[in-house]
Structure 1
């Protein structure tokens, strides 16, 4: 009886996730939006990829980094980047990718790539709008999110009062993400696979994880950002190094894995025990949904922390957004996907961090599973704590006309209750033996609503995005061209 009910719940979740929310029309529309923004920006992320690198990661090695300022209540450009990447790299890149392949087959990785390539323009656009329409709260700290650019850009500037509802829906849906966090569950799942623990022993690790999470987030945004700045670069490089060794140890299998990704993108193969068969459109849906959850392009989350960065032009901070998507999906997600495809572990249909742990155990022995558990623990910690850097911006919008004390009380309440809810959900999933791929469908459902709202906002405000980026190219990326233009204008006068 319990098994029958479980199957019914799984079928319901699958229906809501893939038929109602991340349906084939929306998945395609999301890709079309990214393509539209890419064309409107004149393929900026491809034409200016060198400039993106020079103005982001390369600035860290420059003694004169003018775009990396900090001030009271503000964060550096790199701090915003590290926090945003930390909030996405981990759960989505390891457990999420493995679950996507379990549902949609290796071809899901291909559609994650496609979504990420146009998603670089999408995320850059979000940050440009957030920087353009951000505003200071009653304590003088700059705040911004999709809700702010909907309110200021559509409601106040264009007089479209019906958009007020969109900003509220977006904010409430995003706040729900603090309760539907996968961190404790992913940690319990990974340590169970890595250390061969019982369910009880795994949950104890989740308790420790939640305690550390409290220590970091209760220190406020400064502690969260500093933690991300120190941990994220090291963990990404270490994870890449581990996977690179795996790829080199069996180059022929790596080549075959790439072939299967391209082949299965248009000739899907279902995993054993997978969900109701797969098709090309199902593979596309899963790839797009998991790409959004992983790199957050279009979700509207990471621009919240980017709003606090001080730069000379909104588009300069947008470059960090484009770089985030590249690192998150094109590099880290690809690594995770290749690991489970090369080893064939994806065919079990289980998905989740445990399948990546099993794959590494096949190659490196028990050390591989243990290493993955450590990666997951730290990556999940940066994910969970990074999200709390968004909290004040979200709450600040809802109570922007209220005293600062009101915002502080709400933030403290969510900060104290959010991690505990995730821990309780972990206990529930483990008690019922929930398959990881099913748990991830719950997260796909939760992430869809803000994306729907943000798609509307990005489309309606796209002229502002195109104008700002063009202005940035002319006046900031091409200073010599701007100088020649100024000389010409002076000569005409």
Structure 2
């Protein structure tokens, strides 16, 4: 079977079977259903979300101890989860989405993100509510745990056990078939005109750096995320905004094309083959999920390690993550390739963003791309390790602590290495970026299917916990803040 046949087969499974024309619509409907059931929390309580998430960085806040006695804050969990979501998907994934689905794909990424804020908040609420605690003080959570406890144990639906197993298997697969080493090879080879062997050397060096972080366990992963993620995001936004605002006429045209081609077929332009509207919807929703992980059930895992007074408080970090990841960072990436016209080649991948940066910064743009790809890939790979540990714990939940530790050590030593082997195979067989990203779309779709079912079945509990949090926690706190401001004003 040659490369063309493999590509067609992957495309069939990715866009005809899994991300079929109907599933993205179902996913958006679920987001709308959760949004309505949570009474439009992400919109009504936008100020509270900001105050209780990024706003905490400007106030003194006591750090919590995690299950192993290590200091970890809600921001630490947020930085790790954001590092896991803000990665190569925000650069290579977005440009590939536009290369396949046209500018309209970005619009559907926005729609999926707006309703996905409620979806991700719901996931974290459930993960917090049903997280597993052990006698040694450790605690873990994932969609597998809330399926097991909420549907199998509480409701007696034994068939749901299959959902938990399928979710866990494909999530572990998502870690082992990760794009980090591949995108590093692609971006460095393109930016520095390296030979294939030199690019492989860079990928190996990247893997060794991953090992250094991952072998330190979750504490080192969280510390790395806290120190690197904020600066990484700000630097990328600054470079992207500079590119976008270089040509205001092109920016206006780009924004118009996003809305136009969201509802109108995009004709062939340059190397772009042209697509129907449904393709823009499919690819937009798929890449939104891969990027911000709302509905995937992945980043909710790290949020289970934080002890808070109510699951809803940690859930707000999830809503904020989606906003930062897709509505901010993905938008910057998308606008860069549209404004500069880099999307018209139809190539996609990190190279399109590199072309956009090079068009403004010259040769330095290619170097900047390599730097961003390296940091983004590192935060994704290491952030996902914290997820993998909880997934392994679910698989070994009935074993002793010593046995669980052995399995965790196994994934620490194999985790970064397997993606490198996948990368070498992909590079040796000259896989184009779109093929690699289709593989990722396939493996991300199955957990989303499982999570759609679980979130729907557990939605009454989600709505109850959200209302409970608002009435019992947010409203009293808001009233107290207003009273304090009035008292301060009177005192003046």
Q: TM (normalized to structure 1)?
A: 0.94
2:233 paired with 1:236? yes
Residues in 1 aligned to 2:288 and 2:374: alpha-carbon distance in whole angstroms: 21
2:189 paired with 1:177? no
Residues in 2 aligned to 1:125 and 1:6: alpha-carbon distance in whole angstroms: 41
Q: Look up the match of 2:472.
A: 475
Residues in 2 aligned to 1:137 and 1:182: alpha-carbon distance in whole angstroms: 33
Residues in 2 aligned to 1:193 and 1:255: alpha-carbon distance in whole angstroms: 30
Structure 1 unaligned blocks of 5 or more: 484-493
Q: Deviations over 1:413-461 (max 9, x none)?
A: 2222232221122222222222111110000001111111111000000
Q: Look up the match of 1:109.
A: 106
Residues in 1 aligned to 2:95 and 2:198: alpha-carbon distance in whole angstroms: 23
Give the SS at the match of 1:266.
Answer: coil
Matches within 5 A, 1:65-464: 65=61, 68-73=63-68, 75-269=72-266, 270=268, 277-464=274-461
Q: Deviations over 1:263-305 (max 9, x none)?
A: 1111232565557x52111110100000000000000001110
Contact 1:180 1:421 in 2 (8 A): yes
Q: Look up the match of 2:485.
A: none
Residues in 2 aligned to 1:199 and 1:297: alpha-carbon distance in whole angstroms: 36
Give the SS at the match of 1:325.
Answer: helix
Shift of 1:370: 0.4
Q: Look up the match of 1:38.
A: 35
Q: Look up the match of 1:10.
A: 7
Shift of 1:199: 2.0
Give the SS at the match of 2:115.
Answer: helix
Give the SS at the match of 1:478.
Answer: helix
Q: CA RMSD in A?
A: 1.5
Q: Look up the match of 2:488.
A: none
CA separation of 1:323 and 1:481: change in aligned 2, threshold 3 A: closer
Shift of 1:348: 1.2
Shift of 1:76: 1.4
Residues in 2 aligned to 1:273 and 1:428: alpha-carbon distance in whole angstroms: 27
Residues in 1 aligned to 2:66 and 2:141: alpha-carbon distance in whole angstroms: 16
Shift of 1:71: 3.6
Give the SS at the match of 2:65.
Answer: coil
CA separation of 1:130 and 1:390: change in aligned 2, threshold 3 A: same
Give the SS at the match of 1:181.
Answer: coil
Contact 2:272 2:343 in 1 (8 A): no
Contact 2:168 2:391 in 1 (8 A): yes
Aligned length: 477
CA separation of 1:272 and 1:435: change in aligned 2, threshold 3 A: farther
Give the SS at the match of 1:370.
Answer: helix
Contact 2:130 2:150 in 1 (8 A): yes
Residues in 2 aligned to 1:7 and 1:274: alpha-carbon distance in whole angstroms: 18
Residues in 2 aligned to 1:376 and 1:162: alpha-carbon distance in whole angstroms: 42
